[in-house]
A and B are shown apart, each in its own frame.
Chain A
Amino acid sequence: MASSSELNRLTIAEASDRLRRREISAVELTRACLDRIAAVDSRLNAFITVTEKEALEQARAADHRLSSGQAPALCGIPLGIKDIYCTSGVRTTCASKILETFVPPFDATTIAKLRAEGAVFVGKTNMDEFAMGSSTENSAFGPTMNPHDLTRVAGGSSGGSAAAVAADECLASLGTDTGGSIREPASFCGVVGIKPTYSRVSRYGVIAYASSLDQVGPFAKTVRDAAILLRALAGADPRDSTCSARPVPDYERALTAEVKGLRIGVPREYFVEGMQPEVESSVRAALKQYESMGAKTVEISLPHSSYAIACYYIVATAEASANLARYDGVRYGLRAAAEDNIELNEKTREQGFGAEVKRRIMLGTFALSAGYYDAYYLKAMKVRTLIRRDFEQAFQKCDVIVTPVAPTTAFRLGEKMSDPLTMYLSDIFTISVNLAGLPGLAMPCGYDGNNLPIGMQIIGPQFSEDAILRAGDAFERSGAVTLRRPAL
């Protein structure tokens, strides 16, 4: 049993159990996480804002509910929140200078749901500015370091949320995923992350990057924890017209560890030349493990995969160019000194946005400009339909698809910053899933020669979160991989 100084290492399932039995208090648990943050975060930079005072207040309130015996699953559980979720009264920066001082007067729907459950928020985690990036190096607050190797990136854009969970600074965390921003950092940091089906979780109050691709999801230490957290997040929201009204299943109950007869699709386009050999061998070993547990593997084809990145960088940047237009210095956030409204706009945005954000706004603005719309945006939308159809056809032959999350393990800080195109390729296996609106789970399936985690991705049809969580949980419970705690 973990000593009180190690309470932060608990999973949600374990902690919830012990809180309920009053063996530990939410305040003790929260204190353990805050102590851990104080001890290691200067080296990791996983948090932009630590909300110690608020967290302890929330923990005390949770203890009160727990002692009454009527507490929801997440009551008293310390979580890290990506700094893209609006949190009432707590500044929300999106890792941008332009929102450095922005304090939202409202909660994102998901935050409100977690608050109602009695969850504890220890702080706001670091990310690529406006979720644009694959390494959390595009943050106005400096990069997040990988807990497994401080010279390497944590992945992105939700790098802070992944690193915080890997380093036991909180029990679980929230991220967002537009092209791989949950799955890639989960893979790099050796934790579990799930991007649900588009529309499964409300986006209200989550600062928009690319509205038709953005989706909210959890990071956790185990698949079971991810299932518990996802159930609390998912469901209809009258404030989000794109949010599905479909009932939310009890994901935890779906975790039967039963994979007998499961048909696992293996896309031939996803095992490509140039990927790190250990990544391929590790995912292939996982597939063998599934076969040994009674699952079947079938080769499938996703023929339009090679167009995914090009398609994504049109659709996502086009939407972003409009979504980020509101940061003009008029109503909130940074306001540059200026003589008139046009200068106010230009200077505020010039000073407030980082290089990658500016690059993507320009790309998107160009793609939507008169005379280019048909050639770029409209074409990309057609390609998107083809990519969606690829998956629909594949799912006639299989129940889930297993691929690597990324072609490599965590790369070195600075390694890809000078070459955006190489950086964009980090998301080559995850982006199609967003374009098709499907759910994707990332979880550790091994380690490379440098002791760096390797991630496996399990993709399912729309609203099959229960199926991919079940497959992931079965693999996790098989004991095929022994997880390594980062030595910090």
Chain B
Amino acid sequence: MSHDAYEAVIGLEVHTHLLTRSKLFCGCSTEFGRGPNENVCPVCMGMPGVLPVLNRHAVELAVRTGIAANCEIAPRSIFDRKSYFYPDLPKNYQISQYETPICKGGYIELPGDGAARRVRLVRIHIEEDAGKNIHEANSSLVDFNRSGVPLVEIVSEPDIRSAEEAGAYLRELRDILRYIGASDGRMEEGSFRCDVNVSVRKKGASEYGVKTEIKNLNSFRFVEKAIEHEVARQIEVLESGGKVAQETHLWDPDREETRPMRSKEFANDYRYFPEPDLPPLVVPPEMIDAIRSSMPELPAARRARYARDYGLSAYEVGVLTAEKDTADYFEAVLPGLKNARTAANWVMTEVLRVSNESGKPIAQAAPPASEVRALLKMVEDQQISLNAAKTAFAAMCKSGKSADATVAELGLAQVSDEGAIAAACDKVIAAEAGKVAEYRGGRDKLFGFFVGQVMKAMGGKANPKVINEILKKKLAG
């Protein structure tokens, strides 16, 4: 039986840092990249006698996430202790939410042509992150800077059917989190992490197969690779008459394969029970309403609007909305322009190019949107050519000067003065009498030659449209 006879059943658990300034239960900074154990205090070091105090902002961001993901927000939720021994977990229990999470249900709609695909969510809950173990030759060290950094865990239903779909889900989720300002979604810094549950079954089967969990996935590419590898592995096991064992695998990015963890590394009975040091978390309806009314437009709604209002293709919409910054910039360029596509093309090519080349965000790499708008307006009004606009844009990125000043400084303004163009046309016609005769004799193709000559005479700055009109009349004689 071929691999095509099977389908994968995939559920994802995403852990993402919330963009708060301080940690979930103490006042320590959440800043990434500080020296080891600089962002610590007795609370996040699990000293004897310390108590947690919940960060209000983290709760707001979790509610925001829940609203963005169409969840039901629990008016009252409970924190629980999840017990396991690990050196990077200072209290040897993690404060998390178990039976009563802050958000229940919900779904994420995947982008794409055709019918929208929904991946349903089980829940979203708040929890604290652990520190980080650093292993050296003969010892291990622990950095507790990350200990107590607020996380939400977003758990999907097993609604995903392929590695590609898992990637699409993760990207969409990351985009949403960035749009609402809940997370920076940086997988490489560990602020957005993913565990994958995978099983396979015969197509058409209604029961799920035995699943394995894959941990340690810190890039979208690894998630996709790990799923592909694990799906293939499970099918091979089943095809050779074996049984898939319910176990936890670690992704080895160097060998690009998964390997089972030692049972001691994950065999845990977490002994959850309600955290007695924190009262129940009450989210009043007014808070939910206030957050709901301050929600920005989400990626899906923006995509729909761009396609509908600006007639952009799915590809163009995708490029423009992938980052909130890009879309915001695009929309700031738009006002007053006749054609949205002019702005879209410009942002997708020129603006993203300078951003990518410099490795800086758009706000730093490109001129202010209002200046780009001024430049594009000149193109629309035929004051400058498209090529001249590109020259001006490159100069503006470096100098920081306005569009007006740059165009003037570089002498890029087009000449539309009919008198000057007519005079130039007359000169060319006089100088090229032979070609004029040929043209008038029926060689239409020579028209382009005359336009070129006039443009040359005008130093390349004449408005080609005006040249066309005047030349046509004069040559017609």
Binding site for B on A (CB under 8 A): 84-86, 92, 94, 99, 102, 104-106, 108, 203-208, 210-212, 238-242, 318-319, 321-322, 325-328, 330-332, 341-342, 344-345, 365, 368-370, 373, 377
Of the 9-residue stretches B152-160, B270-278, B290-298, B307-315, which lies at the interface with chain A?
Answer: B270-278
Residues of A contacting B92 in the complex (Cβ-Cβ under 8 angstroms): 322, 325-326, 328
Residues of A contacting B264 in the complex (Cβ-Cβ under 8 angstroms): 342
Main secondary structure of the interface of A (DSSP, over half): loop
Task: Point out the residue from B49, B273, B279 that lies within 8 Å of A208, measured CB to CB.
Answer: B49
Task: Point out the residue from B51, B81, B272 that lies within 8 Å of A239, measured CB to CB.
Answer: B51
B50 touches A204 (CB 8 A): yes
How many angstroms between the C-alpha atoms of A289 and B279 in the bound complex?
42
B277 touches A242 (CB 8 A): yes
How many angstroms between the C-alpha atoms of A407 and B242 in the bound complex?
65
Residues of B contacting A368 in the complex (Cβ-Cβ under 8 angstroms): 83, 271-273
Instruction: Report B295-335 CB contacts with A as 1/0, cut-off 8 Å.
Output: 00000000000000000000000000000000000000000
> Is B46 positioned at the interface, with any CB of A under 8 Å from its CB?
yes
Task: Point out the residue from B46, B51, B272 that lies within 8 Å of A240, measured CB to CB.
Answer: B51
B273 touches A377 (CB 8 A): yes
> Is B447 positioned at the interface, with any CB of A under 8 Å from its CB?
no
Min Cβ gap A104→B in Å is 7
Min Cβ gap A269→B in Å is 27
Across the interface, name the chain A residue whose C-beta is closest to B140: A341
Interface CB pairs A-B, < 8 A, 28:
A85-B49, A86-B48, A105-B42, A106-B42, A203-B49, A204-B50, A204-B51, A205-B50, A208-B277, A210-B276, A239-B53, A241-B277, A322-B81, A325-B91, A325-B92, A325-B93, A326-B46, A326-B90, A326-B91, A327-B48, A328-B85, A331-B142, A341-B85, A341-B86, A341-B87, A344-B87, A368-B271, A368-B273
A331 touches B273 (CB 8 A): no
- Count of B interface residues, CB-CB < 8 Å: 31
Task: Point out the residue from B49, B81, B91 that lies within 8 Å of A205, measured CB to CB.
Answer: B49
B85 touches A241 (CB 8 A): no
- A241-B278, A322-B81, A328-B92 are contacts. A99–B49 as well, Cβ < 8 Å? no
B49 touches A211 (CB 8 A): no
Instruction: Report B53-83 CB contacts with A as 1/0, cut-off 8 Å.
Output: 1100000000000000000000000000101
A330 touches B87 (CB 8 A): yes
A99 touches B50 (CB 8 A): no
Across the interface, name the chain A residue whose C-beta is closest to B265: A342
> Is B289 positioned at the interface, with any CB of A under 8 Å from its CB?
no
- A241-B279, A321-B271 are contacts. A326–B48 as well, Cβ < 8 Å? yes
B46 touches A108 (CB 8 A): no
Min Cβ gap A369→B in Å is 6
A325 touches B47 (CB 8 A): no
B273 touches A373 (CB 8 A): yes
A332 touches B49 (CB 8 A): no
Residues of B contacting A344 in the complex (Cβ-Cβ under 8 angstroms): 87
- A326-B90, A368-B273 are contacts. A242–B49 as well, Cβ < 8 Å? no
- A369-B269, A370-B269 are contacts. A241–B48 as well, Cβ < 8 Å? no
